[in-house]
Amino acid sequence: MKVYKAYNSRSFLDIPQLSALNDEQKNAIRIVSQVLPFKTNNYVIDELIDWNNFETDPMFILNFPQKDMLKKLNFKELKSMLSKNAPKQEVARYVNEIRLGMNPHPAGQLEHNVPTLNGEKIQGIQHKYRETMLFFPSQGQTCHAYCTFCFRWPQFTGMGDIKFAMKQTDLMIEYLRQNPEITDILFTGGDPMIMKASVLKKYIDAILDAGLPQIKTIRIGTKSLSFWPYRFLTDEDSGEIIELFRRVSDRGIHLAIMAHFNHYKELQTDALEEAVNVIRQTGAQIRTQSPVLNHINASAEVWATMWKRQVELGMVPYYMFMARNTGAQDYFSVNMESAVNIFNEAYQQVSGICRTVRGPSMSAGPGKVHINGIAEINGKKVYVLSFIQGRLPEWVGKPFFAEYDPEALWLDDLKPAFGEKEFFFEKDYNKLLKISYLPGRSISSEDLQSA
């Protein structure tokens, strides 16, 4: 049994293993954590991080802010402000300025995915793709530890109106009734597994009790298997969680745990192995996903090893993502060409059983764009792309081409190939953006002709 103990920017010096760091290294953590909030825990510290090689250890980098995550100038300025004991307000203003320079709201999540019910916006729900509704339970908007690359970082910094909190279960159920094309509810956060069993149960029971035959899958997006597997083993209410999972399956609803793993090192502890077994015995299926990240997993070996280990444990590899264009993107980002090379090289090393994984893909405004690869057509190098998910379902699967650019990191960096003025989806996408709420649902390109 392990009792959860969290550490953050105020308490991290209490971590015994931190004696491995010199004063400058500790001070760097303190400085960067003013901008990028950080939180870790005793499982990560005791069982995941290799303190003998912490400087290059992916688990250390994943959990502790690094100097190079800020621009040199910002780091220097902030350091000097803190060492001069500058007034709190002044520091806060500067910190806020740095944050605003880090694209805190990528892909228009706030403006474009929040649906309306009877004419009113409902906070706590996002509905971008026809079949899947994201649900942000208000008690699940934090995590057991924070990932240094996380695109949800503004949520953890208290940057204003950004928590997509949701208390109104009734609204969610009503929304589902009015939108029968939704088959999947994805609980997300933060990390919904941070919630007490009794709270999670309240939400899930509301769905089960509402008698919505359309709902085929409940997904829970979580990093808890990686950061706190004891959630399913020895936490006070772990038995209740397991029972709840079983109940969902018994009701004939597929329970999909969308587990977030960034490195095979997260898959090697006894606690992880036991937690996976306990979850799988409930009938739930565990699918895995991760972004490709410089300093953490930017190598085909890491991915191939990770996928093989996941399958060995009975999990299903699902997505490889590009790092979002937010936060410390300069530190973590892997360009499109490298990402697709890493993916292909890893994919080539594993058997078909692991090839359920798709990627690399970019979760951009119009949809999830899959980078299929680089091709040479009539002597011209191009990126071959297609939608895995689209704001308009009819975009999915259709190949399209962008000019080759070795520096490209994200969809925004790309230009259409072959002298085209725009990508095939852009006209409809721009029209969609003018409609206040615009999930794919019943909308098709025909509906947009009059828009």
Ligand X SMILES: *Cc1c(COP(=O)(O)O)cnc(C)c1O
Q: Rounded to whole angstroms, how far apart are CA atoms 360 and 319?
A: 7
Residues 124-163 that bind ligand X (CB under 6 A): 126, 128-129, 132, 134
Asked whether 265 and 44 are in contact (CB, 8 A), the reply is: no
Candidates 24-32, 123-131, 270-278, 294-302 — which segment interacts with ligand X by CB under 6 A? 123-131
Shortest distance, CB of residue 129 to ligand X, whole angstroms?
A: 5
Q: Which of 127, 260, 309, 391 binds ligand SF4 (CB under 6 A)?
A: 260
Note whether 262 binds ligand X by CB under 6 A.
no
Size of residue set near ligand SF4 by CB under 6 A: 10
Q: Rounded to whole angstroms, how far apart are CA atoms 17 and 13?
A: 9
Asked whether 62 and 56 are in contact (CB, 8 A), the reply is: no
Shortest distance, CB of residue 363 to ligand X, whole angstroms?
A: 5
User: Cα 163 to chain center, whole Å?
Assistant: 15
Asked whether 156 and 162 are in contact (CB, 8 A), the reply is: no
Q: Which of 58, 189, 229, 393 binds ligand SF4 (CB under 6 A)?
A: 189
Q: Which of 99, 127, 219, 223 binds ligand SF4 (CB under 6 A)?
A: 223
Residue 150 touches which member of ligand X, ligand SF4, none, C-beta under 5-8 Å by kind: ligand SF4
Residue 32 touches which member of ligand SF4, ligand X, none, C-beta under 5-8 Å by kind: none
Residue 295 touches which member of ligand SF4, ligand X, none, C-beta under 5-8 Å by kind: none
Q: Which residues pair with 381 in a beta bridge?
A: 376
Q: Which residues pair with 259 in a beta bridge?
A: 222, 288
* 79 Cβ contact partners less than 8 Å away, ≥ 6 residues apart: 27, 31
Residues 350-389 that bind ligand X (CB under 6 A): 363, 368, 388-389
Candidates 118-126, 183-191, 304-312, 387-395 — which segment interacts with ligand SF4 by CB under 6 A? 183-191
Torsion of CA 350, 351, 353, 357, to 10 degrees: 40
- List, as one string, the DSSP characters of 142-174: S-SS--TT-TTHHHHHT-STT------HHHHHH
Note whether 343 binds ligand SF4 by CB under 6 A.
no
9 HSE (CA, 13 A, CB side): 18
Shortest distance, CB of residue 291 to ligand X, whole angstroms?
A: 12
* Shorter beta-carbon distance to ligand SF4: residue 183 or 294: 294
Q: Rounded to whole angstroms, how far apart are CA atoms 389 and 415?
A: 20
Note whether 190 binds ligand SF4 by CB under 6 A.
yes
Helix and strand counts by DSSP (H, E) for the chain:
17, 15
Candidates 184-192, 308-316, 416-424, 433-441 — which segment interacts with ligand SF4 by CB under 6 A? 184-192
Amino acid letter at 11? Answer: S
Asked whether 156 and 144 are in contact (CB, 8 A), the reply is: no
Note whether 321 binds ligand X by CB under 6 A.
no
- Provide the greatest CA pair distance for the chain: 65
Note whether 152 binds ligand SF4 by CB under 6 A.
yes
Q: Which of 38, 43, 129, 146 binds ligand SF4 (CB under 6 A)?
A: 146
Q: List residues near ligand SF4 by CB under 6 A.
A: 143, 146-147, 150, 152, 189-191, 223, 260
Q: List residues near ligand X by CB under 6 A.
A: 126, 128-129, 132, 134, 186, 363, 368, 388-389
